[in-house]
Structure 1
Amino acid sequence: MADDYRKARLGGQLRWRLSRRILAVNLIILLVLALALLFLDSFRNQLRAEREAQTANIAEMAAGAVARMAPGDIDPYLSSVGRMTGARLRLYGPDGARLSDSWTATGPTYRLRDPALQPWTKAIARALDRGFNALVGQPQLADFAEPADDRLQRWPEALAAKRGPGMSGAVRNAPDLTPVISSAIAVPGERVLLVTSNDRDFTRTVREERAKLATGLFAAALVSFLLSFFLARTIARPLHRLALAAHRVRLGRSREVRVPRFTKRRDEIGLLARAVSDMSQALRLRIDNIEAFAADVTHELKNPLASLRSAVDGLDRIEDPALRRQLLDVVRQDVLRLDRLIGDIGEAARTDAELARAAFEPVDLGTLVGQICEGWEQRRLTGDVRIAFARPRAASAIVLGEPSRLARAIDNLIDNAISFSPAGGLVEVAVAHVGDEVRIRIDDEGPGVPAQVREAIFNRFVSVRPEGDDFGRHSGLGLAIARAIVKGHDGEIDVADRDDAPSGARFTIRLPAAPAEGREA
């Protein structure tokens, strides 16, 4: 439950995920390409429809005029229409033979170009035409060729016009892939008028439009490349810097390795940078603590060992039974002190590691503290010091934590309060839910803690006690262990003077209250 809560908090920091950025950049060029293809295909189809309609209009107008003309006027008329429109007009008789041809008087009004005689740029243009047709799924057009025997039967559209009412047309490709548009219409007297035109302007217009779109696509591709390059730099360079910093941390050659945090970034890279920076700082702090802890352990073990060695050495030289008993008592005290010290050192060393692996669960601190206080009373370890517990409302003080570790921290503070309380004193324990945290308060009636050492008493092997206190009874690790446990639960611990009594210390533990969804066990 706690892991889900942390993941939700981390996910909320990501404003614009890298995966979405990269996907958006890559989709730009694809979207522009798709729109360009759709536009060019629509433009070409519309332009072709207009040209087919134009050829059909020529055929219909000429057919109407030919139907009212005398045979001798047809050739001059068809020639003049062909000259004005650039088309070729042919009239076929009932038997399919050609009766009139506009080219007879005017000569060819269009010429079919041989691709082999055209420059290489035209070959590239034709290759682009074929590629575009394949992309948009354009059906392959038939090739156009003038029949050697020019008769009506050689033209399917003319046969269709002769058989049925209305007009019939076709579009074919010239050798250079320019369209040849034809329209045929029946003329009274079982005749058929066929109009053909090689619309080179159509191909030129489509290719010019395609060139404009290609320029736009190139610009879009360039922008996409620059954006991708920008994203690559914003991803690869920070990761490279993080990798170098992590490598320096691993080598450990520098005491302070600065890991970039990228505080202005609100994406996965920024989140990773801050996580690595926090991790390196926590690792550095842990290493420093381990080194300091090892030095402190060495120092603390030397004192009882030196005393123990001195007492053991003296046993061989002293014959007085009373002095020997005193030395044996010193040996027993030193052994007890060493045993207690080693036990507390082991507990302190395990605390951080066990908390790092612990699976937190909902803990009712009201119930937990009540059980600890009852345990002290039942064991009668308080001497004549009394314990008073102000129990909170049921299920009102829930935190996420490791129950046994929290119990150890609270138990250490109660033990500390009892040890400083005078004979017949009262230790007051209270638990309350205040705002978004749960507070545990432990008050004693002892001398209190001087302001100048209130922070130091939470350090390892620090014990500020009155003169004459039991030698070796306290290792100076109890409060340090309590603080480590509380910090491992994202909490705080402090000490102050009591404000409701003439003397005494007040220890306060503050722990984050469990969220509403995290209170279900």
Structure 2
Amino acid sequence: MFASLRSRLWLTYALLIGVVLFVVGSALVVYFLNNPLVERQAATRLRLVVNSLNNQRFLQGFDGDVEQVVTRISENFDVRISVFRGDGLLVADSQTDGEALNINLAEFPFNADAPPVLRTRDSSGQLWLYTAAPVLDRFFVLVATPRPRASLASILTDDLFVPLIQAGALALLLSLVLAFLISRWVAAPLQRMAEAVGNVATGYYGPIEPQGPREVRHLANAFNDMTTRVQASQQSQRDFVANVSHELKTPLTSIQGFAQAILDGTADSPETQQQSASVIHDEAGRMHRLVVDLLDLARLDAGTADLARAPLDLAALLDGVARKLAPQSQQASIDLQADIPALPSFIGDGDRLAQVFTNLVDNAIKYTPAGGQVLLRAKQQNGNVQVSIADNGPGISKEELSRIFERFYQIDKSRSGNGHSVGLGLAIAQQIVHAHGGHITAHSEKGRGSVFVITLPVARPDDVTMAIRRVD
């Protein structure tokens, strides 16, 4: 019955309101049962009786009518009156058969102007209110009455209590209605979110409008971010499958065609057979490189790539990359410059980092027109080593710059079929840099060239010690 969040919220509010009203009602009942106003009225009546007896001077003659006078006054004011001599001997008592009161008049604080009203208990435990006053300097008058207590029946029929009950019932009704509206206001955004989650299971990724309390709005924003990322991830997976299929289809088609030519005798001369075998070999190598790159990406994504970390002379590594690509730059009429000062010690995988720098410099040479320049520069900055590869080639547009690190993305589509590039180089470079605790960024403007910046953390002394121990 109370399975939904809305019904549980309403039940919680209702129980809370009911408990509050019960506590308040109980406090009112206790207050009325122990009404101090009734007790003050009784105390006033006792003082009036004492003053009346004192003014009548009914003990002045001390004749036999004292008992009758005391009894008559006691009945009229509904009190108990006792008269004592100065030595404590009881002279008269309006309730001769009543319980004895535990009162010591010698300790009573007499006050002629306002006799105090005190409390005591009789032999049966009944609580009494009493006061006393001296009369004719020879007698003491004690006036007492049981402490008044209102009955529960009288409270329930009291003119004040009934309106309070009615007001409480009305407050309970209004509170329950308000609790229903509040629970609906809180639960409605969550119900819409539950519907949206159900829609995700069916393939619909519609956003949720953030409404309701702040926490619910934060949850809605987080849900919208999650669905956006899920859509992007699914689109990336679809693109990945499509790109891999495309990249594998081309070499497989070539391999199948030339193999068929050899089998059916179309390639019947040694030269055509040699050509067919060469194409099959090249395309198989292209497939092998694609598979190796995909495996590298998978391991780097999962954090399981085997990085041979060791103390590394980064300056020597960069200088080696520049020397290795110098013939290629000369052949393309590109001026390859290297500005590499002495760099601090670095812990990393030399082969992997050489792969990164080689890929970036190679791309810069390929995309820079003849007569252009490629600059490989390194420096230490803010506790990091910063390596930049700059060229003055055609540059990259803003739209393409935001996607260059995506897998299989190629800026120059005409190069996709040259057998060398499949658009994984920059994605692999980015993952390798991240695995070394660094980051890579690209800056470019159309027509003004591009700059790739790799920032790597400088090794600390304890890093060097750990790396040396692993090598040993």
Q: Fold match, TM over 0.5?
A: yes
1:297 aligns with 2:244: yes
Q: Name 1:156's counterpart in structure 2.
A: 100
1:427 to 349, 370, 375: 375
Match of 1:323 in 2: 272
CA offset at residue 282 of structure 1? 1.1
- Structure 1 residues 98 and 196 mapped into 2: Cα distance closer, same or farther (>3 Å)? farther
Identify the residue that residue 193 of structure 2 maps to in structure 1: 242
Q: How does 1:175-186 map to 2 (within 5 A)?
A: 182-183=129-130, 185=132
Aligned: 1:382 with 2:372: no
Query: Quick one: structure 1 residues 467 and 289, their matched pair in 2 at CA, closer, same or farther if it must change by over 3 Å?
Result: closer
Structure 1 residue 310 displacement after superposition = 1.7
Cα 1:196–1:464, aligned 2, differ >3 Å: closer, same or farther? closer
**Aligned equivalents of 1:452, 1:182: Cα separation in 2:** 96
Is 1:340 paired with 2:289?
yes
Give the aligned partner of residue 475 of structure 1. 422
C-alpha distance in 1, partners of 2:270/2:237?
45
Higher relative contact order (CA 8 A, sep 6+): 1
- Equivalent residues in 2 for 1:468-507 (5 A)? 471-480=418-427, 495-497=443-445, 504-507=449-452
Look up the match of 2:348.
none
Separation (CA, whole Å) in 2 of partners of 1:205 and 1:471 = 100
Give the 5 Å matches for 1:218-229: 225=176, 228-229=179-180
User: What CA distance in whole angstroms lies between the structure 1 residues aligned with 2:18 and 2:440?
Assistant: 51
**1:313 counterpart residue number:** 260
| 1:457-476 alignment, distance < 5 Å | 460-465=407-412, 471-476=418-423
| Kept after mapping to 2: 8 A contact 1:441/1:508 | yes
Q: CA deviation at 1:227?
A: 5.6
Question: Quick one: structure 1 residues 490 and 430, their matched pair in 2 at CA, closer, same or farther if it must change by over 3 Å?
Answer: closer
Deviation readout 1:255-291 (Å, 9 max, x if unpaired): x332425256422x32222222221221122112111
- Aligned mates of 1:60, 1:227 — CA distance in 2: 57
Aligned length: 404
Out of 41, 44, 47, the residue aligned to residue 37 of structure 2 is 47
Indicate the percent of aligned positions where both proteins have the same amino acid. 22
Per the TM alignment, residue 301 of structure 1 is displaced from its structure 2 partner at its CA by 0.8
* 1:240/1:466 CA distance change after superposition, 3 Å: closer
The TM-score with structure 2 as length reference comes to 0.62
Q: Does residue 443 of structure 1 match 2:390?
A: yes
Displacement of 1:170 in angstroms is: 4.8
Q: Cα gap change, 1:413/1:67 in structure 2, threshold over 3 Å: closer, same or farther?
A: farther
What one-letter code is carried by the residue in structure 1 that aligns with 2:326? Answer: G
Q: TM-score, normalised by structure 1?
A: 0.57
Query: Counterpart in 2 of 1:284?
Result: 231
Question: Cα RMSD over matched residues?
Answer: 5.6
1:101-250 aligned at under 5 Å gives the runs 150-151=95-96, 154-157=98-101, 160-161=103-104, 165-166=108-109, 170=119, 182-183=129-130, 185=132, 192-196=141-145, 225=176, 228-250=179-201
The aligned amino acid for 1:60 is V
Q: Which residue of 1 aligns with 2:78?
A: 87
- In structure 2, the residue matched to 1:57 is 47
Between the aligned partners of 1:261 and 1:455, the Cα distance in structure 2 is 28
Amino acid across the alignment from 2:294 = I
TM-superposed CA distance for 1:233, in Å, is 2.8
Hey, what does 1:272 align to over in structure 2? 219
1:470 deviates by 9.7
**Following TM superposition, by how much is the alpha carbon of 1:303 offset from its aligned partner in structure 2, in angstroms?**
0.6
- Which amino acid counterpart does residue 103 of structure 2 have in structure 1? A
Taking the aligned partners of 2:281 and 2:219, their CA distance within structure 1 comes to: 55
